[in-house]
């Protein structure tokens, strides 16, 4: 009987310790995943896309009439600026969510709170999606802003039609990045909810 009790206590202890190890693993996995988002949240080399208009020499001057090309340029530039600002706001939200998750994990470790198996699996599913979206973002990292930088440095070598095409192409790249970051934020919000 004594051997049976000792064996039971041993199995119970090993089970509890392995449960703690699994808990540490899930917390470590969450932390690694959210920290890996730092490389997609770096600000671009062009801090403000509005500089583009000055570099191209197209300041908004009040005129009675604009040519079709000028209207197309202003529309492309305005659309790009809106996308840029939405992207920056989304990056800010991502940073906030990452910080909140890290604080929740720290508190959970300190209070030794554990997660249910269902929540662990849901978190791992969200982490897998975050990794997928992150890779999509990194595939074309910097392409948009680098094209703008080249455009800013060499505006005289291009026609206004070529500039409009570049602005629209950059807008597509930044829109895709914005959409992927939005998806990441949805998954981060799920993780935060599952941890709370």
99-135 pLDDT per residue, tens: 999 898 889 888 888 888 898 899 999 999 999 998 8
Provide the whole-model pTM. 0.71
C-alpha count within 13 angstroms, C-beta hemisphere, residue 113: 13
Quick check: 140 and 40 in contact, CB under 8 A?
no
DSSP string, 150-193: HHHH-GGGS-HHHHHHHHHHHHHHHHHHHHHHHHHHHHHHHHHH
pLDDT by residue (tens digit) across 7-45?
Answer: 433 443 444 334 444 456 777 777 777 777 766 655 454
Query: For a pLDDT cut of 90, what percent of the chain falls above it?
Result: 19
CB 148, CB 52: distance < 8 Å: yes
Q: Give the number of other Cβ atoms within 10 Å of residue 158's Cβ.
A: 15
Cβ–Cβ under 8 Å, residues 88 and 64? no
Cα separation of 134 and 139, whole Å? 9
Mean pLDDT (the chain) is 75
Total structural domains within the chain: 1
Please name which of 60, 34, 55 lies closest in space to residue 156, comparing C-alpha atoms.
55
Q: Which domain holds residue 101?
A: 2-195
């Amino acid at each position: 009987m004594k051997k049976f009790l000792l064996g039971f206590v041993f199995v119970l202890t090993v089970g509890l310790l392995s449960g703690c190890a699994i808990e540490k693993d899930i917390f470590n996995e969450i932390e690694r995943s959210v920290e890996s988002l730092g490389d997609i949240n770096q600000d671009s080399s062009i801090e403000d896309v509005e500089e583009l208009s000055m570099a191209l020499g197209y300041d908004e001057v009040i005129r009675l009439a604009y040519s079709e090309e000028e209207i197309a340029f202003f529309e492309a530039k305005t659309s790009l600026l809106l996308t840029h600002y939405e992207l920056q706001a989304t990056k800010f939200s991502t940073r906030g969510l990452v910080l909140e998750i890290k604080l929740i994990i720290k508190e959970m470790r300190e209070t030794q709170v554990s997660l249910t198996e269902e929540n662990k699996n849901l978190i791992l599913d969200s982490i897998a999606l975050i990794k997928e979206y992150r890779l999509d973002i990194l595939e074309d990292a910097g392409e948009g802003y680098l094209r703008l930088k080249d455009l800013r440095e060499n505006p005289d070598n291009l026609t206004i039609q070529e500039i409009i095409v570049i602005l629209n192409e950059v807008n597509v790249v930044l829109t895709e990045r914005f959409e992927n970051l939005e998806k990441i934020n949805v998954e981060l919000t799920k993780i935060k909810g599952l941890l709370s």
